[in-house]
Amino acid sequence: MHGFFVEQGINIRIEMKLVHTISDLQAELSALKAQNKKVGLVPTMGALHAGHASLVKRCVEENDVAVVSVFVNPTQFNDKNDLIKYPRTLDADCELLESVGASFVFAPSVEEMYPEPDTRVFSFSPLDTVMEGKFRPGHFNGVAQIVSKLFDAVRPDRAYFGEKDFQQLAIIRKMVKQLHYNLEIVGCPIVREEDGLALSSRNARLSTVEREIALNISKTLYKSRTFAVDHSVEETLQFVESEIGKVQGLQLEYFEIVDGNTLQSIANWDDTTYAVGCITVFCGEVRLIDNIKYKE
Ligand code: PAF
């Protein structure tokens, strides 16, 4: 397996290594850090797709060493069934990561990351009390537990997260400030299929029919952006709720239009210069999230 690393402007091919323990990873990285290599981290839960590949490509471009973690983190699943059903595809993930030039795949066991239960309780109020925080209690606490452990283990210069998990990205930025991590968080745009469906590891669980149905989520969000030009926030909320409500097979959990920094609902477009619509919809049993920027 191969990755790339840039030595004085020249791309040198190096072996992509798969490591399972923090001590092995740190032994590899300390030698590279001693040579002042910049280390980028892309935390993932595996089942990788083109959306992850875009994060890793950016990480490879902007750093000397690209570490990708693949770990299905149990503490962020408030629904145990979801944890059981989460796809685990390490071999295919490694193939994809090799093709985009990752240097290290870090795939630890649950015991490695949680040698004892993590009792830390974080508060990112008011960011974590709305939307996903309201519907998935404990979820962001689990995300903060694992992401802080990964930051501690890797000590990266930069870490890459997708904007599809818009709230997660805002919370991780806040965690970095709260805990004084000395690293840069890089948010990367949502990657969509040609027909608009936001890429997600959960899409693999959609049947062909459900996938067609799920397309109405991004279609509605795009239509709402045109609608919003001459309608109020309240009317735009109602528009999205009613469009999704018309589609048999979709069940809206929430749609909120928020300030992209505070994640608090806005009442008027003039309330913010950064307005984002965040949606969560069940398509059959599969919970899908997406978002759209109205103002930025
Ligand atoms: O976005 C994800 O895939 C996960 O929440 C993350 C950041 C890898 C933590 O487990």
**236-289 residue pLDDT tens:** 999 999 999 999 999 999 999 999 999 999 999 999 999 999 999 999 999 999
Q: Is the pLDDT of residue 1 over 50?
A: no
Position 7 scores a pLDDT of: 53
Where are the strands (E) in the chain, listed by range? 2-7, 10-15, 17-19, 39-44, 65-70, 104-106, 158-162, 184-188, 250-259, 275-283, 286-295
Show the tokens assigned to 258: 């928020």
Does ligand 1 have an atom closer than 6 angstroms to the CB of 51? no
Looking at residue 271, its amino acid is: D
**Which residues are annotated as catalytic?**
52
Candidates 135, 138, 136, 141; CA nearest to 122 is 141
| Ligand 1 pocket mutation pick from 146, 150, 202 by most atoms within 8 angstroms of CB | 146
Does ligand 1 have an atom closer than 6 angstroms to the CB of 45? yes
| Ligand 1 pocket mutation pick from 73, 148, 150 by most atoms within 8 angstroms of CB | 73
* Mean of pLDDT values over 54-61: 98
Looking at residue 211, its amino acid is: R
Q: How far is the CA of 42 from the centre of ligand 1 (A)?
A: 9
Chain centroid to CA 183: how far?
17
Candidates 280, 260, 68; CA nearest to 171 is 260
Q: Which residues contact 87 (CB under 8 A, 6 or more apart)?
A: 46, 47, 201, 204, 205
Output the CA–CA distances (angstroms, integers) from residue 245 to 216, 217, 251, 252, 256, in the order listed: 11, 11, 7, 7, 15
The residue to which tokens 């067609």 are assigned = 212
Q: Please check whether residue 113 is in contact with residue 71, taking contact to mean a CB–CB distance below 8 angstroms.
A: yes
Does ligand 1 have an atom closer than 6 angstroms to the CB of 289? no
Closest ligand 1 atom to 201 CA: 3
Does ligand 1 have an atom closer than 6 angstroms to the CB of 73? yes
CA–CA distance, 220 with 176 (Å, rounded to integer):
34
Q: Which residues contact 45 (CB under 8 A, 6 or more apart)?
A: 70, 71, 72, 73, 86, 201
Cβ neighbours of 248 (radius 10 Å): 6
Where are the strands (E) in 21-123, listed by range? 39-44, 65-70, 104-106
CA–CA distance, 123 with 143 (Å, rounded to integer):
12
**194-235 residue pLDDT tens:** 999 999 999 989 999 999 999 999 999 999 999 999 999 999
| CA atoms within 13 Å, Cβ hemisphere of 24 | 12
Q: How far is the CA of 169 from the centre of ligand 1 (A)?
A: 10
Closest ligand 1 atom to 143 CA: 9
The residue to which tokens 């004084």 are assigned = 180
| CA atoms within 13 Å, Cβ hemisphere of 154 | 32
Does ligand 1 have an atom closer than 6 angstroms to the CB of 63? no
Does ligand 1 have an atom closer than 6 angstroms to the CB of 69? no
Does ligand 1 have an atom closer than 6 angstroms to the CB of 143? yes
Whole-prediction pTM: 0.94
Q: How far is the CA of 78 from the centre of ligand 1 (A)?
A: 14
Q: How far is the CA of 259 from the centre of ligand 1 (A)?
A: 23
Cβ neighbours of 251 (radius 10 Å): 13
Q: Is the pLDDT of residue 42 over 90?
A: yes
**176-191 residue pLDDT tens:** 999 999 999 999 999 9
Candidates 130, 167, 145, 123; CA nearest to 76 is 145
Q: How far is the CA of 142 from the centre of ligand 1 (A)?
A: 10
CA-based end-to-end distance of the chain: 41
Can you spell out the DSSP letters for 229-288? TTS-HHHHHHHHHHHHHTSTTEEEEEEEEEETTT--B-SSGGG-S-EEEEEEEEETTEEE
Q: Is the pLDDT of residue 11 over 80?
A: no
Position 2 scores a pLDDT of: 46
What does the mean pLDDT of the chain come to? 95
